Chains A and B, each alone.
Chain A
Amino acid sequence: MSTTVLKARPAWREAFGFNFITGIVLGVIGYFVGNAIGQAVGANIDAMSASDQNDIAIVLGYLVGVIGFLAGLGFFNYPVARLLGARPSLQEHEAGGAWRYFRLCTDHKVVGIQYLVGVLFFFFIGGLNAMFIRTELLFPTEHFWDPDHYLTLVGLHGTMMMMMTSAMVLGPLGNYLLPIMIGAQRMAFPRLESLSFWLVPAAGVVLLSAIGLDGFPSGWTGYASLSVQAKAGMDAYLVAFALIGIAMTLVGLNMLATTFTMRAPGMTWTRLPIFVWAVISTGLLMLLAAPVLVLTMALVLMDRTVQTSFFLASAGGSVYLYENLFWFFGHPEVYILALPGFGIVLELLAVFCRKPVWGYRLSVAGMVGVALVSFFVWQHHLFVSGIDAHLRPFYMLTTELISIPTGFVFLNGMGTLWRARIRYTVPMLFALAFFFNFLIGGLSGVFNSDVPSDVTTHGSFFVMAHFHYTIMGGLVFAFFGGLYYWFPKMTGVVLDERLGRIQFWLFFVSFNFTFFPLFAAGFLGQPRRVSTYAAALQGINDFVSISAYFIGISMVVFAVNVVYSWAVARRRAAENPWQARGIEWQLPSPVPVRNFERIPEVVASPYEYGVPDAPPVAILHGPAVAAAGE
């Protein structure tokens, strides 16, 4: 079969090819096939007939369904073609046509846009769940939802958000921008990149299907032995999270391979945009930590399906094994969430202060340092779990130490602001809010890292406020800043500035009103994931719930802005609306298919603001330079 499409086929013809629709059809068929196999396997197992729950059937259904989905999208076409002797090709469906956004497309920019829509869709669903959670918490003992359904809601919110925020920056922005920023025309592994995207909606749908399987009670952390004991919906969580783990591994691999091997001539390590350094550090964490997640989910699935006892103490296993495996992934995971935010805000600060990133090498050292040290701190999630008491001072030390490189981003930001020429555009507002929120998040982390204080706060709403400040107040704010900044480049249209400011202020104020009081709620004795709490805490909870509804409203404003600006108003963007120096701003908006007509030569860093007669970063139309690879 042809793997290089030179001309788009008619739209009706495209609908019957290997695409998203075919994927769904084959995915559903695959689910039933896998389920039937599992029913046959489990037919004679007493535990399954007594419990009306055949986990083997459910898990096989999901796995065969996902394989069917990927087959329908066309991911097996190229490997099969190569086995049958076709010539290698790194391009599929890159030329024209709207259908390329609904199928396997090797153009990294298409993958970026796909990620943008896909991640935001599931992010909004996670946010809707949060609105329902806060509604339940309006009353201390009265309940809107039954407690088992409430726990599923909590688990869905947490898991969906962790899955989507892991992909939130590297997905849309990393995929779209990385090759452009290093002067390349593609990613190192274009098909794997597309695969990493399509696993995300697959995982999202699998996770949501937990609702039809009685939900799951374990929250996003999936602690054994509760997860081994749980009803069928637990399998949905385990499979979905494992799929995201695979996607993260692929993304990390791709980002690292591309940056290491495909930089344009002259793009030395010290001329790399700081965003690229953030992507590399995050990619390193994804590549090394995400496989542990996949393994952990697989072990729990084995306990649930084939009756192993990795995590059952009374059969020789240990729940500590689960806690350690999960958090060995889980702690690097939170730096996967934090580091891209650092990269974005430093980029934005440089442009809107019109100064170089102050302490560029220090910030690189900080990000790489955080990535490396993050593998040595995970036991701080187990401080009161009954681990050997000798371990606690060591992990307290490492956890305190990691705050040193984490703090570099503040020094870089402060230095960049010094004597700057600050313009308060919408992206800049989000970048500045990042510093405010991440400061609060970071300082509350200091409380958690101290063992005696952690005895007060572990498992309480204090921890919840801490990680919402760092993940939502940090990463999500940075994401919005990056989106408003790069949207003109990615789509050719600008987002409405007035709606952007309304969204920003509504979000910033309601976010802080929502999560700051939760530090007090935690200190005063409200554990996490409860639907009932001491009556004295109702005032705080009601204030928080009302504020949370306003966060929801700010997200609606954002959605309106995106739809209105992109589909209705369509105000064309100039090539360089922010007057920034990055390579991407030397290209047309949106960026054309192969990025550059020929591989550019890089002659300056993107941070040469204030240097008289600084050349642009890249020479785009110089003498022909041979491209790396094809």
Chain B
Amino acid sequence: MVSILGLRMPRELFRILVAWAVVSAIGIPAVWFLLGPHLPPGTMSNSAADQQFDNTVLAVCVVPVAAFLAIYFPYCLVRFRHRGTTFEDGPPLKGDGRVMVAWIAGTSALVLFLAGWGSWELFPGEHGAGGGQGPDPLQIATPANAAGALQVQVIGQQWQWTYRYPQYGFETDQLVLPQGQLVEFHVTSLDVIHSFWAIQLGVKADAVPGSDNVAFTQPGRVGSFQVRCAELCGIWHGHMFTEGRVVTQSDFQSWVGQQKRTLAPASGSLPPYAPSYYPTPLTRGG
């Protein structure tokens, strides 16, 4: 037994704790600096960057937990292996209140920190976590510049994504967004549950029939991103795929003009813009 900072503990346990401290001291910065910048979903938008940061924090929190168990278990499995053919009992250790209290306190602190941290990540005004927040996004989670946002209604139907730009009056099957402007997605479905997952933008919002699911993002870099459906919706669920693009503001305006021209025949037949649609009748004959 040794006495460290007034705590008496077995020498072996002390050695394990020292090893743990060393591995954690190396692992935590390694994960933060080396792994973190490469974690998905990347930094193409502010919501993606938020998630990447969140994933980095979580990965860092995982390091000491995994390290402790990865040191303790192998140590015991080797050190306390019983050799020989006789059946020998170990000491009747039934528990140790101080260890239990320390464990409960430690895990509770970690877990409560993560809950608080996750909640805080949902709130900051400029950013958003990119997840669908339902029809009434939290006021303090709605970005400050929401008034100038580009509205994009994402319509999920079996089995293709279409995108309606109410500010320009057309609906298209392409998703093109301007760089540097806040985008307010209104995700809805015409039939079953789909999920709009703009992977590199870090946006995921379920498309629920009869419901308007709002998500925010602000793309920072020009480039392309993938949109896939993340909720099983039938035969072509895996094929509901859009190649989206973030372009400069001027390219965006010329794309808008081109879409308005080429899609004019259909634009006149679209129903008035609404947060959700109930196309009738319930069942179609034919």
Instruction: Verify whether A and B have any Cβ pair under 8 Å.
Output: yes
Residues of A near any B CB (own CB < 8 A)? 47, 50, 147-148, 151, 217-219, 221, 223-226, 229, 312-315, 318-320, 323, 353-356, 358-362, 383-390, 392-393, 396-397, 400-401, 403-404, 407, 410-411, 414-415, 417-424, 432, 435-436, 439, 443, 446-447, 449-456, 458-460, 523-525, 527-534, 579, 607-611
Closest to B87 in A: A579
Q: Cβ of B72 < 8 Å from any Cβ of A? A: yes
A513 to chain B, nearest CB (A): 18
Beta-carbon contact of A459 and B204 below 8 Å: yes
Using known A-B contacts A354-B88, A386-B132, A415-B99, determine if residue A314 contacts B111 with beta carbons closer than 8 Å.
Answer: no
Whether A404 contacts B104 by the Cβ 8 Å rule is yes
What is the CA–CA distance of A456 and B50 in the complex, to the nearest angstrom? 11
A356/B122 in contact, CB under 8 A: no
Question: What is the distance, in angstroms, from A360's C-beta to the closest C-beta of chain B?
Answer: 7
Contact A419 B99 (CB under 8 A): no
Q: Are B131 and A454 in contact (CB under 8 A)?
A: yes
A223 neighbours in B (Cβ, 8 Å): 192-193, 231-232
Q: Which residues of B contact A390 (CB under 8 A)?
A: 138
In the assembled complex, the CB of B268 is this many whole angstroms from the nearest CB of chain A, namely: 24
B137 within 8 A of partner (CB)? yes
In Å, the complex CA distance between A355 and B92 comes to 6
Tell whether, in the assembled complex, residue A424 and residue B206 are in contact, meaning their CB atoms are under 8 Å apart. no
Report yes or no: B80 in contact with A458, Cβ–Cβ below 8 A.
no
Contact residues in A for B104 (Cβ distance below 8 Å): 404
Q: Chain B contacts of A359 at CB under 8 A?
A: 94-95, 100
- Tell me how many residues of B have a C-beta within 8 Å of chain A: 96
Interface string of B134-153 (1 = CB under 8 A from A): 11111001000000000000
27 contacts between A and B (CB under 8 A): A151-B232, A219-B232, A226-B193, A313-B211, A355-B90, A359-B94, A360-B95, A384-B205, A385-B206, A386-B208, A389-B122, A403-B107, A404-B107, A415-B95, A419-B80, A421-B89, A422-B82, A450-B118, A452-B51, A452-B122, A458-B195, A460-B197, A523-B39, A525-B200, A529-B232, A530-B237, A610-B89
Separation of A456 and B199 alpha carbons in the complex (Å): 8
Residues of B within 8 A of A528 (CB): 230, 232
Residues of B within 8 A of A226 (CB): 192-193, 232-234
Contact A455–B96 (Cβ < 8 Å): no
Q: Contact check, B210 vs A313: say whether CB atoms are below 8 A apart.
A: yes
The residues of A that contact B132 with a CB separation of less than 8 Å are 384-386
Residues of B within 8 A of A388 (CB): 134, 136
Q: Given A354-B89, A453-B58, do A417 and B73 touch, yes or no (CB 8 Å)?
A: yes
Residue in A148, A385, A404, A432 whose CB lies within 8 Å of B208: A385
A450's closest neighbor in chain B, by CB? B118
Q: Known contacts being A226-B193, A226-B234, is A383 close to B91, with CB within 8 Å?
A: no
In-complex Cβ contact of A386 among B72, B115, B213 (8 A):
B213
Structural contact, A353 and B58, CB atoms closer than 8 A: no
Q: Give B286 Cβ to nearest chain A Cβ, in Å.
A: 9
Residue from the list A354, A389, A452, A527 in contact with B118, Cβ < 8 A: A452
* Distance between Cα atoms of A223 and B160 in the complex (Å): 19
Taking a contact as CB atoms under 8 Å apart, the answer to whether B90 and A525 are in contact is: no
Q: Which residues, 228 to 286 on B, are CB-close (under 8 Å) to A? A: 228-239, 276, 278-280, 282-283, 285
Q: Across the interface, which residues of B come within 8 angstroms of A524, CB to CB?
A: 40
Q: How far is the CA of A359 from the CA of B138 in the complex (A)?
A: 44
Are A450 and B58 also in contact (CB < 8 A) when A320-B208, A422-B77, A610-B90 are?
Answer: yes
B92 and A609 contact, CB distance less than 8 A: yes
B130 contacts chain A at the CB level, 8 A cutoff: yes
In the bound assembly, the distance between CA atoms of A475 and B67 in angstroms comes to: 23
A417 contact set on B, CB distance < 8 A: 73, 76-77, 80
Q: Is B69 an interface residue (CB 8 A)?
A: yes
CB distance from B257 to the nearest CB of A (A): 31
Complex contacts, A354 vs chain B, CB 8 Å: 82, 87-90
A404 to B114, CA, bound (A): 12
Q: Mark B48-68, 1 if CB is under 8 A from A, else 0.
A: 001100110010011001100
Q: Which 10 A-B pairs have the closest CB atoms?
A: A313-B210, A530-B238, A459-B230, A386-B213, A610-B92, A421-B82, A455-B131, A452-B129, A355-B90, A393-B119
Q: Is B218 an interface residue (CB 8 A)?
A: no
Cβ of B100: which chain A residues have Cβ within 8 Å of it? 359, 362, 411
For the complex, give the distance between the alpha carbons of A432 and B78 in Å.
Answer: 13
Closest to A523 in B: B40
In the complex, the answer to whether A397 meets B107 with C-beta atoms within 8 Å is: no
B220 at the interface (CB under 8 A from A): no
Chain B residue with the shortest CB-CB distance to A403: B111
Nearest-neighbour CB distance to chain B for A521, whole angstroms, equals 11
Q: Smallest Cβ distance from B239 to chain A, in angstroms?
A: 6
A495 to chain B, nearest CB (A): 20
Select from chain B the residue with minimum beta-carbon distance to A524.
Answer: B40
Question: Are the C-beta atoms of A443 and B232 separated by less than 8 Å?
Answer: no
Interface presence of B178 (CB below 8 A):
no
Give Cα distance in the complex from A558 to B192, angstroms: 42
- When C-beta atoms are compared, the residue in chain A nearest to B59 turns out to be A447
CB-CB under 8 A from B76, the residues of chain A are: 414, 417-418, 420, 422
By beta carbon, the residue of chain A nearest B50 is A452
